[in-house]
A = this chain, B = another copy of it.
Amino acid sequence: MQSSTHAGRAGRPRSAAADTAILAATREALVDLGWSRLTLGDVAGRAGVAKTTLYRRWAGKNELVVDAVAELFDELRLPDRGSLAADIEGVVLQFAAILARPEAKSGLMAVVAESTRDDALRERIRTSIVERQKRLVLEGRARAQARGELPPETDPAEAARTADLIFDVVAGAVVHRTLVSAQPADGEWVRGFTQVLLWGLASRPAESPAG
């Protein structure tokens, strides 16, 4: 999207340090004030830049918060723990830990809400957050198929639909648990969720002993 060096442009380049400071200040303001009370003037003050600088770089509050929150999810990793269930549990716990942070909570849901009436914003969220993390699903599936834990996929279109479905189920469940039910997505919950995701409700539930 935005090349950090501005390539062939003439004139004074935009300060990359200002970008970093502004996004950090945005997260800080989300923690202190939440979404609704967050003002661009406040963020500018925290970041040590002029308010006009913010408006030169971002169209508004929505776009700024999307960029500020997107950085939080880039720390997600898919560690190889030997089994699909363990891999899922690991990444879901990471996701839950990020969602538990106040800057992620109040920011993410608010921009999603706004995106229902702003196609450009929804696309920005998809490209900078959702699609970016869908890699985890694809990689996890590939690993599990190599291990023989999941059947290999025949139709690539069907495989893409399934990946989208998994992402909706995983991300949606964790978000709902954390934000709506307001309960921690801790180890116990994640184990139960993973069991349902892999073997469903109809199978016998206590396949593995308590641990």
A167: which B residues are within 8 A, CB to CB? 176, 181
Q: How large is the interface on A (under 10, 10 to 19, 20 to 34, 35 or more residues)?
A: 35 or more
| A167 vs B198: C-alpha distance when bound (angstroms) | 17
Is A76 an interface position by the 8 A CB rule? Answer: no
A179: which B residues are within 8 A, CB to CB? 112-113, 115-116
How many copies of this protein are present in the complex? 2
Contact with B along A160-194 (1 / 0, CB 8 A): 01101111110111111101111100000100110
Most chain B CB inside 10 Å of its own CB: which residue of A149, A162, A169: A169
A176: which B residues are within 8 A, CB to CB? 167-169, 171-172, 175
Q: Are A202 and B192 in contact (CB under 8 A)?
A: no
Q: Closest CB of chain B to A98's CB: distance in Å?
A: 14
Question: Which B-chain residue is minimally distant from A110 (CB atoms)?
Answer: B113
Is A130 an interface position by the 8 A CB rule? Answer: yes
Q: A164-B183, A165-B192, A168-B181 are in contact. Are A109 and B112 (CB under 8 A)?
A: yes
A34: which B residues are within 8 A, CB to CB? 114, 116-117
Is A3 an interface position by the 8 A CB rule? Answer: no
Within A87-123, which residues are at the interface with B (CB < 8 Å)? 102, 105-106, 108-110, 112-117, 122
Chain A residues close to B by CB (< 8 Å)? 34-36, 84, 102, 105-106, 108-110, 112-117, 122, 125-126, 130, 149-151, 161-162, 164-169, 171-177, 179-183, 189, 192-193, 196-205
Closest 7 A/B residue pairs (Cβ): A172-B176, A172-B172, A109-B113, A200-B200, A110-B113, A34-B117, A199-B200
Kindly list 4 other residue pairs between chains A and B, CB separation below 8 angstroms, not including A130-B180, A198-B200.
A105-B113, A106-B116, A115-B179, A172-B176
